[in-house]
């Protein structure tokens, strides 16, 4: 069995091939960071156009690296949403074309659920029930998984995602894009307690997240303390802001663990590359005596291996219900209505 996964939900064009046991034979990721960097964020129209230009070569490269021909592929998996609609349509339509021509089943995969799967690829023995936190540039969502493939959304951001808040502050200070890795680099050696931030609180005690308040507080600190790209206090400020984003993210996880019995915790998404977040997440797991899973950095950010892997599991679970070639699949830009209920 060979699975070809395709991911184009935002600004990475990615294709991956998985073998019988779900082992990753190739995982090609073409980043558009340089294209969007001058704008300090992803420009949706440029992203979808670039996906169109590169998707074919990226899929070819993934097949070549896996020494696999297209007619050896048994299953196609593509990201359906959420994400930028134009970008999603490129990958999904490309996958439909391949499925139609080669008469192969095509399975649609949710991008945020695929991030959770990204953590399971290298940690297949994670015990369930599990609590999963996806922290990226587009999403900050908390899920409870009673068992594998049962994704119950407990909370999500009501405004900015955690990565988006990092990206916006980096853009404001002219530090470059994507902001998360730049902030991590420039925060190193800074004092995380130098600038205190108060934690966001939901008045209704829900497990939703909010990062816009932290962003506003950050802008006020920047103005009041005249913090700029080259200033002496920059490292202290960035370390404090990074810490505030990490604390706000993990606080909800801690609250959710008090409400629901879990045996493990999972962290994924682009911001899960952050060393401060990884360290505090591990500390929480040890304190709560829970198993934990965090992907290696390449599987944290957007990639098609996580899409192919979730596609394979869904196919094995619900396979007979997946029509080949399944051309009726539609892309959706936001967290699916079913998941949000």
What is the smallest separation between the CB atom of 77 and ligand KG4, expressed in angstroms? 17
Q: Select the residue interacting with ligand KG4 from 5, 22, 40, 137 (CB under 6 A).
A: 137
Question: Reduced to 3 states, what is the DSSP secondary structure of residue 301?
Answer: coil
What is the smallest separation between the CB atom of 12 and Zn ion, expressed in angstroms? 8
Site string for Zn ion, 112-151 (x = CB under 5 A): ------------------------x---------------
Kindly state whether residue 325 participates in binding ligand KG4, applying the rule CB under 6 A: no
Bridge partners of 77? 5, 107
Site string for ligand KG4, 288-307 (x = CB under 6 A): -------------xx-----
What is the smallest separation between the CB atom of 276 and ligand KG4, expressed in angstroms? 8
CB atoms within 10 A of CB 313: 18
Stretch that binds ligand KG4, among 177-185, 202-210, 216-224, 332-340 (CB under 6 A): 177-185
- What is the residue-wise DSSP string for 102-125? HT--EEEEEHHHHHHHHHHHS-TT
Stretch that binds ligand KG4, among 68-76, 162-170, 206-214, 286-294 (CB under 6 A): 162-170
Q: Which residues contact 330 (CB under 8 A, 6 or more apart)?
A: 80
**Comparing C-alpha atoms, which of 116, 49, 29, 114 is closest to residue 79?**
114
Kindly state whether residue 302 participates in binding Zn ion, applying the rule CB under 5 A: yes
Kindly state whether residue 7 participates in binding ligand KG4, applying the rule CB under 6 A: no
CB atoms within 10 A of CB 37: 12
Interacting positions 233-272 with ligand KG4 (CB under 6 A): 269-271
Kindly state whether residue 264 participates in binding Zn ion, applying the rule CB under 5 A: no
Q: How many residues bind ligand KG4 (CB under 6 A)?
A: 20
CA-to-CA distance for 148 and 31, rounded, in angstroms? Answer: 30
Report the interhelical angle of 162-172 vs 212-224 (nearest 10°). 20
The three-state DSSP-derived secondary structure of 222-245 is HHHCCCCCCCCCHHHHHHHHHHHH
Interface with Zn ion by CB under 5 A: which residues?
Answer: 136, 302
């Amino acid at each position: 069995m060979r699975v070809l996964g395709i991911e184009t939900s935002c600004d990475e064009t990615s294709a991956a091939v998985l073998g019988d046991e779900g082992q990753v034979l190739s995982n090609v990721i073409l980043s558009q960071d340089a294209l969007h960097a001058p704008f300090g964020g992803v420009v949706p129209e440029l992203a979808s156009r670039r996906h169109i230009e590169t998707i074919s070569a990226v899929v070819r490269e993934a097949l070549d690296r896996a020494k696999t021909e297209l007619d050896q592929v048994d299953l196609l998996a593509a990201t359906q949403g959420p994400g930028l609609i134009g970008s999603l349509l490129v990958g999904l339509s490309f996958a439909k074309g391949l499925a139609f021509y080669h008469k192969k089943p095509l399975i649609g995969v949710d991008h945020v659920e695929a991030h959770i799967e990204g953590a399971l690829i290298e940690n297949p023995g994670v015990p369930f029930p599990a609590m999963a936190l996806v922290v990226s540039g587009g999403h900050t969502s908390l899920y409870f998984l009673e068992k594998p493939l049962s994704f119950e959304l407990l909370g999500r951001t009501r405004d900015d995602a955690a990565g988006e808040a990092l990206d916006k502050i980096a853009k404001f200070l002219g530090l470059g894009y994507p902001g998360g890795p730049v902030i991590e680099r420039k925060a190193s050696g800074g004092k995380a307690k130098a600038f205190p931030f108060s934690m966001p609180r939901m008045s209704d005690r829900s497990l939703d997240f909010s990062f816009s308040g932290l962003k506003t507080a950050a802008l006020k600190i920047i103005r009041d303390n005249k913090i700029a790209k080259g200033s002496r206090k920059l490292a202290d400020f960035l370390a404090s802001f990074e810490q505030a984003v990490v604390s706000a993210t993990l606080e909800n996880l801690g609250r959710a663990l008090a409400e629901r019995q879990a045996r493990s915790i999972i962290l994924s998404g682009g911001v899960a590359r952050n060393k401060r977040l990884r360290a505090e997440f591990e500390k929480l797991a040890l304190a709560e005596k829970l198993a934990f899973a965090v992907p290696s950095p390449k599987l944290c950010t957007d990639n098609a291996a996580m899409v192919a892997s979730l596609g394979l599991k869904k196919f094995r679970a619900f396979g007979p219900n997946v029509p080949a070639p399944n051309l009726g699949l539609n892309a959706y830009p936001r967290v699916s209505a079913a998941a949000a209920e």
